[in-house]
Amino acid sequence: MTTEAGFDLDDGELSLLLEAIYLRFHYDFRNYARASLRRRLAQALLRLRCETLSHLQARLFREPEVFTLLLQVLTVQVSDLFRDPPFFRYLREQIVPELRTYPSLKVWVAGCAAGEEVFSLSILLREEGLLDRAMIYATDINPEALRKAEAGVYALERVPTFTENHRASGGRSSLSDYYTAAYGSAVLDRSLLKRVVFSDHSLATDNVFAEVQLVLCRNVLIYFDKVLQSRAIGLFKDALCRRGFLGLGSRESLAFSAHAAAFKRTFPNEQWYRRW
Amino acid sequence: MVIPSPGPLSRDAELSPRIGAIVVGVSAGAINALSVLLPALPRELAVAVIVVVHVSAGRRSLLCDLFRARCAMRVREPVDKEPVGAGTIWFAPPDYHLLVERERTFALSLEAPVHFSRPSIDVLFESAADAYGSELLAIVLTSASCDGSAGALSVRSHGGTVVVQEPDTAEAPLLPRLVIAQGSPHKVGTLLEICDFVRATVEGGAP
Ligand SMILES: C[S@@+](CC[C@H](N)C(=O)[O-])C[C@H]1O[C@@H](n2cnc3c(N)ncnc32)[C@H](O)[C@@H]1O
């Protein structure tokens, strides 16, 4: 029996499916945290009307559109502008003063989803007068999400939350300066993306591509098991310059990572680390 | 009231499976109900008590602050990958689903709310049922949402123990009624009876 919960999925079939996805599509979900991955796979079975993971696997090889849909289910896209306002407040008040000391600033936003975090960062850096000397690399494995990020169009009903978050993060301007409302959508100011490069990059299979002074990777590591988490944190360790900053999601921590020693929690907050 | 259970079960702690973890699901009326249950648990309780309370997505949960002062056990919110430590009451952080991995570490997720709730009782119960099997004790308390009923069923089908607050004594009887109607609970009782059950069944519960 397959429940929506997905905890009755066959473990052998699950491993085979992940192996097949890796071989056929080069997306590596083999080291994703299993409990929530099982839930998402069970949802995929329901959405795709498959009885078993083997059935899903057979369809993956024959129907190209099945993988496109599966990828949307397997990658969780939840985000918001200035999601977790205290994080951005901390960035603005404690870290920006240090970032000012760099003549040029390179930032990596890993797992940028549909761009909410990138726009938040761009707005913050513009408010702080740093955007013009910044370069932001925004990466994700979900091409649909990257496409949305580049478009910068969000449903208008999300704007009240965005506005409230922006204010709570210590925003110095009015969020309405950065978007225009049209046909039920908020279209973000294109100039916020002038210093942004989006690209398809997987923390599971790709390597470091630049030296940066700041990495934001929030609510991505929660989807990885310890092995993959360690790989990803290893990439951040190699990408960050000495004394560069790493910001994580509000419930993430390096405390259980093999690379913990390479970073210092210089702030009382568990979310912020410095390469040491 | 004791409902006959479908599987083999004894109130006698010798014959019941060893309890490895307790999960608690509660919503409307949570503070009052937890104020009876949690302070009654002794510091020596040899298991983790993992609690999902439906709270609106605020900036910070006040549950820990509220209960830390009143409980003998340690009270915390877990971070991702943290081992499920015994002797601790763990509150699901607001606006994340809380899951338990088979290696008995916590995992968080931002997937869509389940029955309008994140954290969701179903998500915690189902993952814990998978991780602990027959060693899981699930406690279902007052709630006006159906989130938790699928989870309780899953606990039962993995051989775990399900205990439900007597609906007539619950501020919101909906979830307790749903779970009883599934025919799955091992025990239905008042909050004080549930406290007694836990102390009698779980290692370290009785002096
Ligand atoms: C919950 S979103 C996080 C959005 C944003 N960082 C935030 O916290 O608001 C998780 C993102 O991680 C991406 N992701 C998942 N696996 C990844 C991988 N192996 N490499 C890079 N990104 C990945 C997903 O596609 C998704 O967009």
Q: Is A271 in the pocket of ligand 1 (CB under 6 A)?
A: no
pLDDT of res. B11? 45
Cα B10–Cα B16–Cα B22 angle in degrees, nearest 5: 120
Using the atom order of ligand 1, give the atom closest to the CA of residue A116: 9
What pairs with residue A273 in β-bridges? A246
Residue of A15, A31, A36, A273 for testing the chain B interface, max B β-carbons within 10 Å: A36
Q: What ipTM was assigned to the predicted interfaces of this complex? A: 0.94
d(CA A19, CA A6) in angstroms, rounded, equals 19
pLDDT of res. B206? 82
Residue B122 has pLDDT above 60, yes or no: yes
pLDDT of res. B16? 60
pLDDT of res. B124? 98
Cβ atoms of A234 and A259 closer than 8 Å: yes
Cα of A31 to ligand 1 centre, how many Å?
15
A102-111, A167-176, B59-68, B151-160: which has the minimum mean pLDDT? B59-68
Cα B118–Cα B119–Cα B120 angle in degrees, nearest 5: 90
Tens of pLDDT along B176-204? Answer: 999 999 987 999 999 999 999 999 999 88
Q: Does A222 touch chain B (CB under 8 A)?
A: yes
Quick one: pLDDT band at residue B156, thresholds 50, 70, 90? Answer: very high
pLDDT of res. B58? 60
What domains are there in chain A, each with its CATH number? 11-74 (no CATH), 85-275 (3.40.50.150)
- pLDDT by position in tens, chain A (length 276): 334 444 578 999 999 999 999 999 999 999 999 999 999 999 999 999 999 999 999 999 999 899 999 999 999 999 999 999 999 999 999 999 999 999 999 999 999 999 999 999 999 999 999 999 999 999 999 999 999 999 999 999 999 999 999 999 999 999 999 999 999 999 999 999 999 999 999 999 999 999 999 999 999 999 999 999 999 999 999 999 999 999 999 999 999 999 999 999 987 778 999 999
pLDDT of res. B57? 62
Q: Do B80 and A222 touch (CB under 8 A)?
A: yes
Q: Do B126 and A270 touch (CB under 8 A)?
A: no
Cα of B75 to ligand 1 centre, how many Å?
30
pLDDT of res. A268? 74
Smallest Cα distance from A252 to chain B, Å: 5
Tens of pLDDT along B75-113? Answer: 999 999 999 999 999 999 999 999 999 999 999 999 999
Residues 6+ apart with CB under 8 A from B168: none
- The pair of structure tokens assigned to B113 is 């709310």
For chain B, helix, strand, coil in percent to 5 are: 30, 20, 50
Residues 6+ apart with CB under 8 A from A229: A221, A257, B81
Smallest Cα distance from A74 to chain B, Å: 10
What domains are there in chain B, each with its CATH number? 21-202 (3.40.50.180)
Cβ atoms of B136 and B155 closer than 8 Å: yes
Cα atoms in the Cβ-side hemisphere of radius 13 Å centred on A119: 31
C-alpha to C-alpha distances, B32 to A197, B54, B64, B163, nearest whole angstrom? 52, 14, 15, 18
Provide the 3-class DSSP secondary structure of residue A228: helix
CA-closest residue to ligand 1 atom 12: A111
What residues of chain B lie within 8 A of the CB of A260, using their CB?
none
Q: Search chain B and give the residue with CA nearest A34.
A: B101
Average per-residue pLDDT in chain B?
91
pLDDT of res. A45? 95
Tell whether omega for the bond before B78 is within 30 degrees of 0, i.e. cis.
Answer: no
